[in-house]
Structure 1
Amino acid sequence: MNPMAAMMMEAAPVRAVAAVSQDVPLDVSAVGSVEALNTVDVKSRIAGEVLRVDFQEGQFVQKGERLFQIDPEPTLRQLAEIQADITKDMALEQQAKANVVKDEAQIKQTQASADRAVALAKDGIFSKEQTEQTVATNETALASLKADQAAVESASASLKADRARLAQTQLQLQYTDITAPISGRAGAISVKAGNLVKDNDAALVTILQISPIEVSFGVPQQLLPEVQRYNAQGPLLVSATTVDGKAVTGRLKFIDSSVDSTTGAIKLKAEFENADHVLWPGQFVSVQARLSLQKNMVVVPNSTVETGPQGKYVWVMNRSNSTVTMRPVDVLRLYKAPKQPMEEAVIGNGLQPGDMVITEGQMRLMPGAKVRLLNPQATQLGENGGSAGNQSSSKQGDS
């Protein structure tokens, strides 16, 4: 008997799993970098001495919380001086207004006297000198009125300027309390109590808003149409996993308007609540953007798929007579389920759920060869609809 015939008669020991139908997520994987949602440099808006620092480096601060206090004493003195100027200018304005009232009353008298003197002069009753003196007195009263009216305007202008200075100085007083413009984590503090600072100079501290937080990543430009199509149906779910295995879930919020010509990738951004501060600015994370969930896909361990001259194929065992056939398959893509050590192949054509696919012992097989299962429980798993992931684990346990 030739060796091939002997091989056909002798049952080859193999292991197998059943192809299963399951929902498989369609994900896009990338490496992303974590970025603070907002980064704000906190600067002083007034020059002066730092009186106190009310927080610590690395502390999480709330929007509106006081961070620094600049000595308010010089500003308070300015306020007192301005208040005194306002009081003085108000008195000057009131005095000038009183003088105007007095001048107006006097003009009524001098104008009447001047009019009467002119009329009497025409009748020869008043002399020329008397008439001129009366008219001159009236003109003096008119000049005094104009001067006092100008004094009112001047005092009013001074008072208006004083009040503008008061408002500005009150604003300066508010600036002596430097508060957090956003909620976030405070970085290194560049000043201490007693230091002198200038207005709008170097940053006193930088605050990073890390809750929520963003992750920036790129995907190949070929995937852009799919990303846009699925994202149009609703914001895509995105997961970010740190190097120590901690994972958080967020949503896609930004698709760049152009492709990076140097990398051929398009930039995406996802936003995460990050309430537990798992993500940290500058960190690199593994990113998966879920485009869709493909329903009822046939899945087998990727280790069962081999490549021949005609393409990819698997060995399938006939349950009724324990023989195998070489089955061509169309592998759509590979998929690695969470917490599963092995990749699985998503099959487009060539297999049906329940088909028994050989996982070990393929080297001794040829079409029509008899096989003997080393893991006969796989047949029951397949008949009961066990998952490919579970069967893979079972197979490893039997090894």
Structure 2
Amino acid sequence: MDADARTTATVAADGAARVRRTSASWVAGGLVCAALLIAGLAARRPASDARTAGASSSPPALAVPIVPVRVRAMPVVLEATGFVVSEHTVQVRPQISGLLKRVFFTEGDPVRLGQRLFLIDPAPLQAELDSARAARDSTRANLERLQGLVQGNYVTPQEFINARASAEQAAAAYRRAAITLSYTDIRAAVAGRSGGLTVRAGNLVAPTDAAPLVTINQTRPIEVQFSLAQQFLPRLRSAQAGGALGVVVLREDGAGELDHGSVVFMDNAVNASTGTLTLKARVPNEREQLWPGQFVTVRVQLALEPHALIVPETAVQTGPAGNYVYVVVAGRATKRAVSVDRHQDDLAVIATGVKDGEQVVERVPTSLRPGMVVRESAPAPPRARIGLSGAGT
């Protein structure tokens, strides 16, 4: 019995051991499978994360204002900065030396042509005139006396000739003294506006003085001098052949009109150092809004261009290679070189580079680069887009 019991116990113990070994194998296998599954998932996650990161790193389309290139009738207006010059500037100087007795105007006031301005003490010159008159009268009387005597041969012909020469010299001296006396009364040689006085009554004046007594500038009419690039010379000549070239004079900032006039002078040569041509325009200046030396903006209208390509002035950028715009093609900004004919009223008239209807970026942000994806932003206010729509397009 004891032997059978021991045998049974041994068999039971071996079975239990096999069961434990089998269970351990299953557990180990499960752990290995779990590890492999986790490793596989971990291996796939970076690729998935990379794809997600790649998708999220694509930049969004840049919002920019976009406008079409338009064709419309545009006046050919050339604009330049000029300055006002007086057509007649007179420096009033004494022609004789003497004591300045009186000043008959207030400096800065307008003066009329022929208006009395200054009086130099006339007393010394009046005395010289009186002496010259007496000498003239004496020699004239002597000549008349000798004229009767020479006919009766009481005096020689030579004596009569000498007397006549003396009379003529005395008469000339009298006229010269009268002219010199007239120089004491100084009058305005031109109508205009007086400048500042450089001398006051009671001072001695002379023709050799460095400064004039006063300077008078004609202000009505007045002229505006300006320069235009030589490339416009053919247009200027063509327009001038059809009549007077009209001009509009505006404030220096171009904000308001001051007067209208016409071109009265075109230089006969281009300035070789600047490549510009000098012109002058005359305007009435009845309200005296223009002052000599004042800077202004001048617009010269040459003709009407019926089919001008226009874009907003802000669309044109300048780089090392020249002017360019960003044209939107298939949702991307493409940099394109353009040739600008002129700028006018916040618009740029394009000579070459774009076509009617093409879309351009109106205001270029600093972040925009060629090839970037763009989309149209909210429309600009109507004031900013003036000239690009409506009649005439």
Q: TM-score range by the shorter chain?
A: 0.5 to 0.7
In 2, the alpha carbon distance for the partners of 1:230 and 1:240 equals 19
The 1:92/1:285 distance shift into structure 2, 3 A limit, reads: same
* Structure-2 residue corresponding to 1:260: 271
* 2:226 is aligned with 1:210: no
Structure 2 counterpart SS, 1:258: coil
SS at 2:263's partner residue? strand
Question: Which runs of structure 2 are paired with 1:85-234 in the superposition (5 Å)?
Answer: 85-100=135-150, 104=152, 145=153, 147=155, 149-199=157-207, 201-202=209-210, 203-234=212-243
Give the TM-score of the pair, scaled to structure 1: 0.63
Alpha-carbon contact 1:35-1:214 (below 8 Å) kept: yes
The 1:359–1:74 alpha-carbon spacing in structure 2 relative to 1, beyond 3 Å, is closer
Q: Distance in 1 between matches of 2:225 and 2:307?
A: 32
Paired position in structure 1 for 2:281: 271
Distance 1:360 1:196, change over 3 A: closer
- Cα offset, 1:200, TM superposition: 5.7
- Please give the alpha-carbon distance, in whole angstroms, between the structure 1 residues aligned to 2:317 and 2:274: 32
Q: What secondary structure is seen at the aligned counterpart in 2 of 1:147?
A: coil
- The answer to whether the Cα contact below 8 Å between 1:13 and 1:372 also exists between their aligned partners in 2 is yes
Aligned match for 2:247, one of 231, 234, 238: 238
User: In structure 2, what is the equivalent of residue 55 of structure 1?
Assistant: 105
Gap runs ≥5 in structure 2: 1-61, 319-323, 368-372
Q: State the secondary structure of the residue aligned to 2:221.
A: strand
Q: Secondary structure at the match of 2:87?
A: strand
Shift of 1:98: 4.1
Give the whole-Å Cα distance in 1 for the aligned partners of 2:158 and 2:348: 94
- For the 8 Å contact 2:316–2:348, the answer to whether it is kept is no
Cα-to-partner distance string for 1:307-340 (whole Å, 9 max, x where unaligned): 9xxx867559xxxxxx9999999966376654xx
**Contact 1:334–1:346 (CA<8 Å) still a contact in 2?**
yes
Using the alignment, how far apart are the partners of 1:26 and 1:277 within structure 2? 29
1:280-314: CA deviation from partner (whole Å, max 9, x where unpaired): 2223333333332212435444567899xxx8675
Following the alignment from structure 1 to structure 2, what is the Cα–Cα distance between the partners of residues 347 and 233? 24
Q: Give how far 1:156 is off.
A: 2.4
- Unpaired runs of at least 5, structure 1: 1-11, 105-144, 317-322, 364-368, 382-386, 394-399
Which protein is bigger by CA-based radius of gyration?
2
Q: 8 Å contact 2:245–2:302 — kept in the other structure?
A: yes
TM-score normalised per structure 2: 0.63
Alignment identity in percent? 30
* 1:214–1:269 CA contact under 8 A, matched in 2: no
**What is the alpha-carbon distance in structure 2 between the residues aligned to residue 175 and residue 207 of structure 1?**
18
**2:347 corresponds to 1:343:** yes
* Amino acid across the alignment from 1:45: Q
CA distance in 2 between counterparts of 1:74 and 1:228 reads 59
Higher relative contact order (CA 8 A, sep 6+): 1
Q: Is this contact kept in 2: 1:305–1:314, CA < 8 A?
A: no
Give 2:305's match in structure 1, choosing from 277, 291, 294.
Answer: 294
Distance 1:298 1:221 in 2: 22
Q: From the superposition, tell whether residues 190 and 352 of structure 1 become closer, same or farther in structure 2 (CA, over 3 Å).
A: closer
Secondary structure of 1:250's counterpart equals: strand
SS in 2 for 1:156: helix
Paired residue type of 1:250? G
For residues 201-235 of structure 1, give each alpha carbon's deviation from its aligned partner in whole angstroms, at most 9, with x where no partner exists.
44222222233333333333333333333333333
Is 1:33 matched with 2:44? no
Give how far 1:348 is off: 6.8
Alignment partners' CA distance in 2, 1:269 and 1:13: 46
- 8 Å CA contact 2:70–2:309 kept in 1: the answer is yes
